[in-house]
Amino acid sequence: MALAPSSIEWALAVVFLPLAGALLCFLAPRRAAALGLTIAALTAASTLGLTLEVVVAGTQRTVLGGWGAPLGIVWLADGLSVTLMAMTAAVGVAVSVYAAAYFRDEHTERAFFWPLWLLLWTALNALFLSADLFNLYVTLELMGFAAASLTALGGSAAAVSGAIRYLLVSVLGSLFYLLGVALIYHACGTVDIALVAACIGDAPRPAVQAAVGVMFAGLMLKTALFPFHFWLPPAHGSAPAPVSAVLSALVVKASFYLLLRLWIDVLGGGGRWLAELLGLLGAAAVIWGSVLALRQERLKLLIAYSTVAQIGYFFMAFPLALAGDSAAWTGALYLALAHGLAKAAMFLTAGNLMRFGGHDRIAELDRAVHRLPLTLTAFTLAGVSIMGLPPSGGFIGKWLMLEAAFRQERFGLAVVMLLGGALAAAYVFKVVGHAFTPAVRSRRERKIPAAMEWSALLLAVVAILLGLTLPMIWPLLQIGGPAAALSAAGAATGAVA
Amino acid sequence: MIPLFDTSVPPDAVLPPDAVLPLLVLASSLVPGLVIFFLGEERVRTRTLLNLGGALTKLALVGWMFRGVYEGQRYEARLPLLDGLDLVLRVGSLSLLFLVLSAGLWLVTTVYAVGYLERSPNRSRFFGFFSLCVTATVGVAMSGNLLTFILFFELLTLTTYPLVVHRGTEAARRAGLAYLAHTVFAGVMLLAGTVWLYTLTGTLTFAPRGFVSEIADTHRGPLIAIFALLIAGVGVKAALVPLHGWLPLAMVAPAPVSALLHAVAVVKAGAFGIVLIVYDVFGVEQAAELGLTGPLAAVAAVTIIYGSLRALFQDDLKRRLAFSTVSQVSYIVLGVAIVGPLASVGGIVHLVHQGIMKITLFFCAGNLAETLGIHKVSEMNGVGRRMPWTMGAFSIAALGMIGVPPIAGFVSKWYLGLGALEAGVHWPLYVLTLSSLLNAAYFLPILHAAWFCEPTTQWPAAGSGTGTENGKPIGDSGRWLRPETGWLLLLPPLVTAALSLLIGLFASSPFSPLEWSLLIAEREFHYP
Amino acid sequence: MTQPVFWALVGMALVVIGLYGLIVHAHLLRKILALNVISSGVFLVFIALARRAPRDGAAISPGPDPVPQAMVLTGIVVAVAATGLAVALIVRLRAMTGRTTLGDEADN
């Protein structure tokens, strides 16, 4: 194995390749698309390498610059983080291919899209790898800046104000998180996740409680959990399609991932009341987001509200996991993965429809089924996963969570999950139905490059096939940190009351 | 006792079950369907070749499996999906019955659809979904556990939706919306019941006489709720009152779709699902013990009467047929819910009989609409003279529906009645009698008008340019070569009408649907 | 009240004042100022509580802990970058619409 790159190099590659790519694309805007695509492919390949490494050899630790845990920076790649990185890579490649075609004729947007997008990818991978709380803060901010700038890429007033709102929310959320980090540092004298986890049991409780409170508040804001979702639809609805895709599919997941890490790795299960509160907010998000999605008249806003609803599901796992039901976590993670792929596909198809007809009003989709069959197929397949119909990834996630809910006889949560699925079907088919009927007046139509249709379709197909890969992904999720904590999560209730 | 699905053999038995054939049966319509999507609109030959090739292949494969099952070969394909839950395709005697029905009727419906949609737009999409729809149906037939059943059941919803809204009109969109509103509601119920059941039993594998008996004493309440959820879930597709609302609305779809919905795929899948839930999830005796079959029988009886009553007042031919379906499909449910071997035979055999007769009626209605533009019963005066063959087929099927011997429908009703007597209950007899009277009341006027009334309108003649008077061709030597409508439209109803006559006449010959149903019932009950 | 606790409380007060300003003021520049007040508060808390909490048996090193100082430095850099980006976006918004507030499109 002397010739094969070791794990250290893979972990470095997944962060520094896109970073270098971002700089190169910035320096050579004319070649940005070609460069960006190459870098995307290389990054995806490195992610695959890292994933295989973790599968074969278990959790990988990377000590940057030779400085160890308390002072230096440590990267940790366990099953959970590589799974999310793999999802990022899948979405990333598809979005890159799509964007290469999407921005072909728009020079300014192309010149800025590629550096920012690759920077965002860098931040995401760094976030998934980071193993200390402060480093996570830095990556969180990096991600926020890149994402806010991408939101403004469209250049319209709506896009810019969406970006400003997003930036304000993002910075506020990060500051709250940082406040929590300060309190934790006060309590434990370290920010390394493993060391904090070891000391949190006998740290002063008020400090830990306050820290958990502000950190969760900040991250809920960034994850757009109801009622903090107000900023998401305008931001995701006004950005260019590839940007909306990565915002909805990846950026929201990153802060959820961080919440999960805190909950499982740092708090070892967290407190009962907080879990119930999160579950309640999640349930409210599912209903509220779905109902609002159903009421939208513009496709991109509909998809954005659907994201609000789907985020709710992730949080409903918290109360379910209290009883030590690890199926709930796996279910929520599976939903997150499936949602990432499917939602990205949906936003890409929305981009196709928007370019095709010059608008995204649902009632005037004007026989899009006949004219853009691949796009509509992609939309419907992605919708199947969002609704949670078998055999999609969304179905598996929902099944696992429902199983946990019924096992614990939490019928209220089960009803909300089922109702959310029905509402999702309603809003997906609202779109599909209007795509069959002709509009009152026909409009101009622009040709859609094949790359834009196929990248969306492939993503949607992957979201469906994800449902069949549980036997492969389940063991992967168990590798490293979370697994031990997952089963202990129930036992440690009341660590933070 | 020979179990319905051969579960006495442990999974790791000496002879590995054949996994290839069930998959091939699925692929024989899945692959043509997917290929057809990418065919250009004008590639009529290739598309027809693919359609018919797929349909014939499927029929041949199912025939092969029929022989295999008879000789004791086991067919099973599985794919791990969830922890301890696999996707399982299995072929037992009950699934074979439904498989043969859907594979056979798919063939005739394909022929019919090729003729029907000759010049309409978007044929590639239509036939693509048509094939996927049948894939889902055979998947439902072969599913070996409740999870697999849900998978194909929902796939069926998704693939029929584009067929319902195929015409792309506002009415079609609304019908599609109604269809989805019902089926999505059903899907939610079905999923809820299934997950709940799984958390209690830890298994979802269909087994003869059910798999819930171990928890029947400890979890009575939940089991009753689960039964209600599951039946509501499949009952929407089976059009049980009050969940039947979508069926008459879905009549906006082209005729082959109506035929498919009513006879082969959707409604049948729902009825089949009820049979599965009662027999292979709960076990019919267990269900009776839990007090569940009584309400189910009541719902079926109400549906039978209500459907017939509504049919009576429909002037639109297809709507009348739709309400007739609502009524007729519940015979199957009634047969299952009476709890007795003979009634079960009646119910199961009606699965086949109703399918064949109802598809004939829809083909004929399609022919009338396509050839003469007739959509309403009131326009049918004298149509028998203009289209004798079509109306002949229609008459056979309609008489069968009423229960006139020796047509297939009679056999079903006979066994249902016998079963009720055997089970010691009398009220189903009244329901059957009343329903038959109502059937007669809404079918006989049609027949009377078609055969014995004077035509009120001038129809274009059969063939082109043939001189006619009052719909009668005069002295045309080519009369017998010129069919009353396209051959592709005429042959399918004739074939199915002949079939419904034949399976009634030869009901007691080996391999008839009746004999096969007896076999199935024998395996569910300790039948002497 | 010890000195660190006093400064931490001051920091918390800044956070609260900033949050109030962020919510109340519509003008975007004020919002950014409010965010900066919040971040100053957070940094103050961080520095004030930099001393590791006394735990039994652990020797408390005299003098301030350098690690949080480094972290706060990083934080300040991040805050400056955020301010710069936000100001750039606001200038752009003003150039396009003449507004320096967020519109009503945030109704829902």
Cα B200 off chain centre by: 32
Q: 3-class SS at B205?
A: strand
Question: Residue A1's pLDDT is what?
Answer: 40
The answer to whether A157 and C97 have CB atoms below 8 angstroms apart is yes
The two tokens of residue B460 are 């274009």
Q: Does C60 touch chain A (CB under 8 A)?
A: no
C-alpha A237/C-alpha A375 separation (Å) is: 19
C-alpha A377/C-alpha A386 separation (Å) is: 14
Question: Residue B476's pLDDT is what?
Answer: 42
Question: Residue A236's pLDDT is what?
Answer: 87
Question: Residue A69's pLDDT is what?
Answer: 63
User: Kind of pairing, strands A74-77 and A60-63?
Assistant: antiparallel
Handedness of CA B157, A380, A475, A398 (dihedral sign): negative
B468: left (phi over 0), alpha (psi -120 to 50) or beta: beta
The two tokens of residue B435 are 């329903």
* pLDDT digit string, tens, across residues B364-381: 988 888 888 888 888 888
* pLDDT digit string, tens, across residues A339-372: 999 999 999 999 998 888 888 888 888 788 888 8
C-alpha B70/C-alpha B488 separation (Å) is: 34
Q: 3-class SS at A76?
A: strand
What's the average model confidence in pLDDT over B259-264? Answer: 76
C-alpha A23/C-alpha C97 separation (Å) is: 32
Which range (A173-187, A392-406, A407-421, B493-507) has the least confidence?
A: B493-507
What's the average model confidence in pLDDT over A85-95? Answer: 95
Question: Residue A2's pLDDT is what?
Answer: 43
Question: Residue A4's pLDDT is what?
Answer: 55
C-alpha B382/C-alpha B385 separation (Å) is: 6
C-alpha A229/C-alpha A221 separation (Å) is: 7
The string of DSSP letters for B15-47 reads SPPB-HHHHHHHHHHHHHHHHHHTS-TT-HHHH
Domain ranges in chain A?
271-478
* pLDDT digit string, tens, across residues C9-31: 999 999 999 999 999 988 999 99
Q: Residue C70: which domain range?
A: 3-52+65-99
B475: left (phi over 0), alpha (psi -120 to 50) or beta: left
What's the average model confidence in pLDDT over B339-346? Answer: 85
C-alpha A273/C-alpha A268 separation (Å) is: 15
Q: Which of B30, B78, B81, B148 has the highest number of chain A CBs within 10 A, making it the mutation to test binding with A?
A: B81
The two tokens of residue A397 are 């996630």
- Report which of residues A198 and B527 the model is more confident about: A198
Nearest neighbour of A402 by CB, restricted to B168, B185, B195: B195
Question: Residue A171's pLDDT is what?
Answer: 93
For residue A370, list chain B residues with Cβ-Cβ distance below 8 A: 121-122, 125, 168
Query: Shortest CA distance to A489 belongs to which of A337, A275, A194, A308?
Result: A275
- Beta-carbon neighbour count of residue B242 at 10 Å? 10
The answer to whether A323 and A70 have CB atoms below 8 angstroms apart is no
Compare all CA atoms of chain C with the CA of A289 and give the residue at the minimum distance.
Answer: C108
Average pLDDT, chain A: 87
Nearest-neighbour CA in chain A from B157: distance (Å) = 11
The answer to whether A199 and A110 have CB atoms below 8 angstroms apart is no
Q: To which H or E segment does residue A184 belong?
A: helix A157-188
Question: Residue B514's pLDDT is what?
Answer: 83
For residue B80, list chain A residues with Cβ-Cβ distance below 8 A: 470-471
The answer to whether B131 and A370 have CB atoms below 8 angstroms apart is no
pLDDT beyond 70 at A6: no
Distance between first and last Cα of chain C: 45
C-alpha A38/C-alpha A29 separation (Å) is: 14
Beta pairing partners, B344: none
The reply to whether residue B170 touches residue A419, judged by beta carbons under 8 angstroms, is no
pLDDT beyond 80 at B191: yes
* pLDDT digit string, tens, across residues B234-256: 999 888 888 888 888 888 888 88
Question: Residue B250's pLDDT is what?
Answer: 82
What's the average model confidence in pLDDT over A103-132? Answer: 89
C-alpha A30/C-alpha A11 separation (Å) is: 29
Question: Residue C106's pLDDT is what?
Answer: 42
Question: Residue A464's pLDDT is what?
Answer: 92
Nearest neighbour of B184 by CB, restricted to A391, A425, A468: A425
Which residues make Cβ contacts (< 8 Å) with residue B12, sequence separation at least 6?
none
For residue A168, list chain C residues with Cβ-Cβ distance below 8 A: 22, 31-32, 35, 86
The two tokens of residue B373 are 């533009």
Q: Which amino acid is at B338?
A: I
CATH number of the domain to which C89 belongs:
1.10.287.3510
Which residue intervals of A58-156 are DSSP H helices? 79-102, 107-129, 133-151
pLDDT beyond 90 at A257: yes
3-state helix, strand, coil in chain A (%, to 5): 80, 5, 20
For residue A418, list chain B residues with Cβ-Cβ distance below 8 A: 188, 191-192
What's the average model confidence in pLDDT over B396-425? Answer: 88
Highest-confidence segment of A102-106, B190-194, B404-408: B190-194
Q: Do chains B and C touch (3 or more CB pairs under 8 A)?
A: no
Chains that touch A (3 or more CB pairs under 8 A): B, C
The reply to whether residue A421 touches residue B191, judged by beta carbons under 8 angstroms, is yes
Q: How confident is the model at residue A87 (pLDDT cuts 50, 70, 90)?
A: very high
DSSP conformation class of B376? B
Nearest neighbour of A390 by CB, restricted to B154, B170, B188: B154
Please tell me the total count of domains within chain C: 1
The reply to whether residue C106 touches residue A165, judged by beta carbons under 8 angstroms, is yes
Question: Residue B460's pLDDT is what?
Answer: 66
Size of interface A-C (CB pairs under 8 A): 108
Q: Does C34 touch chain A (CB under 8 A)?
A: no
For residue A138, list chain C residues with Cβ-Cβ distance below 8 A: 74, 78
C-alpha A380/C-alpha B158 separation (Å) is: 9
Beta strands, E only, A271-418: none
Q: How confident is the model at residue C56 (pLDDT cuts 50, 70, 90)?
A: very low
For residue A414, list chain B residues with Cβ-Cβ distance below 8 A: 192, 195
The answer to whether B219 and B200 have CB atoms below 8 angstroms apart is yes
Query: Shortest CA distance to C85 belongs to which of A171, A109, A24?
Result: A171
Which residues make Cβ contacts (< 8 Å) with residue A104, sequence separation at least 6?
A33, A110, A449
What's the average model confidence in pLDDT over A292-298? Answer: 92
Provide ipTM, 2 decimals.
0.90
Q: How confident is the model at residue B224 (pLDDT cuts 50, 70, 90)?
A: very high
Q: Does C53 touch chain A (CB under 8 A)?
A: yes
Average pLDDT, chain B: 84
Compare all CA atoms of chain A with the CA of C81 and give the residue at the minimum distance.
Answer: A145
Q: To which H or E segment does residue B91 belong?
A: strand B85-91
C-alpha B353/C-alpha C67 separation (Å) is: 82
User: Kind of pairing, strands B85-91 and B75-82?
Assistant: antiparallel
- Report which of residues B338 and B12 the model is more confident about: B338
- Beta-carbon neighbour count of residue A412 at 10 Å? 12
What's the average model confidence in pLDDT over A427-448? Answer: 82
Q: Does C106 touch chain A (CB under 8 A)?
A: yes
CA-CA distances (angstroms) from residue C59 to A160, A197, A205, C5? 52, 21, 21, 20
Which residues make Cβ contacts (< 8 Å) with residue B514, sequence separation at least 6?
B345, B349, B411, B415, B503, B507, B508
The string of DSSP letters for B135-163 reads HHHHHHHHB-BHHHHHHHHHHHHHHHHHH
Query: Shortest CA distance to B79 belongs to which of B25, B31, B23?
Result: B23
pLDDT beyond 70 at B142: yes
For residue A157, list chain C residues with Cβ-Cβ distance below 8 A: 93, 96-97, 103
Beta pairing partners, A192: A132
C-alpha B267/C-alpha B261 separation (Å) is: 6
Question: Residue B475's pLDDT is what?
Answer: 40
* pLDDT digit string, tens, across residues A201-237: 877 788 888 888 999 999 999 999 988 888 888 888 8
What's the average model confidence in pLDDT over A39-59? Answer: 91
Q: Which of A178, A221, A294 has the highest number of chain C CBs within 10 A, making it the mutation to test binding with C?
A: A178
Domain ranges in chain B?
324-456+483-528
The reply to whether residue A429 touches residue B81, judged by beta carbons under 8 angstroms, is no
DSSP conformation class of A192? B
Question: Residue C1's pLDDT is what?
Answer: 66
The two tokens of residue B514 are 């009746």
* pLDDT digit string, tens, across residues B487-524: 888 888 889 899 888 888 887 777 788 888 887 777 76
Q: Which amino acid is at A292?
A: L
Which residues make Cβ contacts (< 8 Å) with residue B135, sequence separation at least 6?
B26, B29, B30, B33, B155, B159
The answer to whether A164 and C29 have CB atoms below 8 angstroms apart is no
Question: Residue B16's pLDDT is what?
Answer: 64
Q: To which H or E segment does residue B89 belong?
A: strand B85-91
The reply to whether residue B188 touches residue A369, judged by beta carbons under 8 angstroms, is no
* Residue position matching structure tokens 């390949």: A45
Question: Residue B260's pLDDT is what?
Answer: 80
Q: How confident is the model at residue A493 (pLDDT cuts 50, 70, 90)?
A: very low
- B93 exposed, middle or buried (CB, 10 Å; 0-12, 13-18, 19+)? buried
* pLDDT digit string, tens, across residues B68-88: 887 778 888 888 887 778 888
pLDDT beyond 70 at A62: yes
Phi, psi of B17 (to 5 degrees): -65, 155
Q: 3-class SS at C29?
A: helix
C-alpha B152/C-alpha B90 separation (Å) is: 13
C-alpha B230/C-alpha B149 separation (Å) is: 12
Highest-confidence segment of A419-423, B121-125, B265-269: A419-423
C-alpha B238/C-alpha B268 separation (Å) is: 7
* Residue position matching structure tokens 């509580």: C49
Q: To which H or E segment does residue B87 belong?
A: strand B85-91
pLDDT beyond 80 at B457: no
Which range (A417-426, B351-360, B434-443, C52-61) has the least confidence?
A: C52-61
What's the average model confidence in pLDDT over B414-431? Answer: 88
pLDDT beyond 90 at C79: yes
The answer to whether A455 and A341 have CB atoms below 8 angstroms apart is no
* pLDDT digit string, tens, across residues A444-485: 778 888 889 999 999 999 999 998 888 888 888 888 754 444
Which residue intervals of B80-145 are DSSP H helices? 93-116, 123-142
Query: Shortest CA distance to B336 belongs to which of B281, B290, B284, B291?
Result: B284
Question: Residue B520's pLDDT is what?
Answer: 78
- Measured at the CA of B494, the angle between CA B414 and CA B30, to 5 degrees, comes to 95
pLDDT beyond 70 at C57: no
Is C106 among the domain residues?
Answer: no
C-alpha B501/C-alpha B393 separation (Å) is: 10
The reply to whether residue C50 touches residue A185, judged by beta carbons under 8 angstroms, is yes
Is C60 among the domain residues?
Answer: no
The answer to whether A188 and A201 have CB atoms below 8 angstroms apart is no
Nearest neighbour of A406 by CB, restricted to B150, B162, B196: B196
Nearest neighbour of B198 by CB, restricted to A403, A433, A438: A403
Question: Residue A424's pLDDT is what?
Answer: 93
The reply to whether residue B161 touches residue A432, judged by beta carbons under 8 angstroms, is yes
Q: 3-class SS at A61?
A: strand
* pLDDT digit string, tens, across residues B463-495: 443 333 344 444 444 444 566 777 888 888 889
